[in-house]
Amino acid sequence: MRTFTIYICDDHSLFLESIEAFLNLQGKYNVIGHSTHLEKATNDIVTLKPDIVLIDYHLEETTGIELLKNINEAKVDCISIILTMRRDINIRNKAKEMGAKGYMLKSIGAEQLLEGLDQITELQMEFFDSIEEEIKAKDPNYKTLLTPREMQIAKMVTQGISSEQIAEQLSLSLHTINSHRKNILRKLNAKNPIDLMNYLKEIGEI
């Protein structure tokens, strides 16, 4: 069985020490360092080159996104995962955009953290997303609620494109576009384009 080295950056010492102790009990993972500060974490990661880096989003005077940026600039080849208490779709999307392989809520518990790490390291999941996992638990079909055409129109609506312009661009009648828009809102139990945008953000489409 392959083992993976882990570095943890978190400014909550108790949480950091608890996670470190738990992971070191697993045969597959070995924590080789930790820090509560961005600069030290950056230097350690460049030197130690861990396989996995667990990054708290809230750090002293900055955020975990800055550490992600430093890791990218230093071209360290590692699996970066954001750990946070915030269910924030924008932070999730930014982390994913910057190459993170996971967005995990601290509330998920140690066993689910381990499950997420296993799925990422075994390449069963390209990106572990706690927000998506929560939504999926409530409705496993949430990503397939819209047809491909409805998804296309939904994205155009959130871009501020009018029904008339959508009809022209897709070579469809205005009546057809309006019917699609009604069906989209009905399927998502949405009331306006803002609700629609929030749905698309949740499923990672924008």
Q: Please write the tens of the pLDDT for every residue from 169-203.
A: 999 889 889 989 988 888 887 888 888 888 888 77
Give the CATH number of the domain where residue 91 resides: 3.40.50.2300
Distances (CA, A) of 19 to 28, 54, 113: 14, 10, 9
Q: Scanning the structure block, which residue is given the tokens 């399927």?
A: 187
**Do residue 18 and residue 72 come from a single domain?**
yes
Q: Is the pLDDT at 63 greater than 80, yes or no? A: yes
Residue positions counted in the chain:
206
User: Which pLDDT does position 13 carry in this prediction?
Assistant: 85
Higher local confidence (pLDDT), 99 or 205 = 99
- What is the extent of the structural domain holding 14? 4-137
* 8, 90, 132, 198 from 50: Cα distances, Å: 10, 27, 27, 35
Say yes or no: 50 and 64 in one domain: yes
Q: Does 154 lie in the same domain as 101?
A: no
> pLDDT per residue over 128-141, tens digit each?
988 888 777 776 66
On whether the CB atoms of residues 158 and 193 are closer than 8 A, the answer is yes
As a whole number, mean pLDDT of residues 104-109 equals 87
User: Does one domain contain both 44 and 130?
Assistant: yes
Q: Of 41-45, 116-120, 130-134, 194-198, give the range with the top mean pLDDT.
A: 41-45
